[in-house]
Structure 1
Amino acid sequence: MSEALLLVRPTPAEANLTQLIPLGPATRFALHVFGVEAVPTASAGGFDLSGPVGSCRKMGARVSLHLSLHEWRLIAPPSETRHMVAEIQSDLGGVVTSLVEISRRNVSFQISGPNARAILNDLILLDLSDNAFPAGAATLALLGSADVVLVRPGPEALYYVECARKLGPYVQDMLTEATHAFL
């Protein structure tokens, strides 16, 4: 993501501007755990898996998004790919999992600034108020007609939108057009 990593904060000068930034490459895995009520460990491969469904957790440079009961999106800098699979499998022990690298499949955008929530609310039919979508939230959503992952890592007006690479131009155009409506 930004500099190959999620959770980069805007500078104070940038905080007053609404910005849309296409983010750089990142290592991404889709993790599915089968046959258990809960993951038997709070972390795996340096990823915090302890958060409830709909949460975003960060451990060092690694970010986990708990998207559904048995599904996580795991994101890390590209330089950390080499040993991640073995680390995750080792930490999860004998639990049946599906771990699929989706690094090249997806792209991400950062949208930040005073109108970020309003722009996203124009395109995503979810309540993004602080009570409904608090800091540390992550969810699957529709942006226009594109499936996306929406993340609000902290209390700032800063969000991440991740989608399939083939839908990247569509999502970027939708976000750009909506951003211009607030200029």
Structure 2
Amino acid sequence: MTDLNPTNQQILHYARHFLQCRGYNGFSYKDISQKLGIKNASIHHYYPKKEDLVAALLEERRKSLAVSIAQMKESEKSAREQLQYYFDYALQEFDEGKCICPPGSVIIDFHELPEKVKKQDMLLLDDILDWLNNVLRTGLEQGEFEFSDPVDTHAEMVVETLMGARLVSSIKGRKTLVRAISSIKSCLGWRD
């Protein structure tokens, strides 16, 4: 990945915002350059093609997730605390106007996407599912959760429910996302 100087960080910031609000085909370098007051060529300097930018953005999200997971492990957060972090993060992003989660932001265009974007999106989704599998397995073993279906089924259900709820919340409001989180907790046998 290229150097993350202030300009590059701003490019990624706005690209992430546009990607999560509009999807892959819903923004261009012009949208980013107008926000930053720079020329499109400045963006092309860092990312020759849009696929380079989006792949780098998804890779950055993977690295950020890995750091968050390591921090939670280091601080010995319980399974519930880790899962609550995930829910809080989804709510925070929604409150910031980002209606679609990073891996979900390219789903509508997935089959037409360049291979490097598909690869990074699948790696990010796999990272999230691996982490959720570990969290749910630990929570089940330690009595924090109570469910009988396979752990991987529940991990997929969590991701799928949050992705769908974030989309519907973009037109129905935050309460839809809050209800979805409550439903997930209920399915996991999470009792406050």
TM-score (norm 1): 0.29
- Greater fraction helix: 2
Which structure has the bigger radius of gyration?
2
- Greater fraction strand: 1
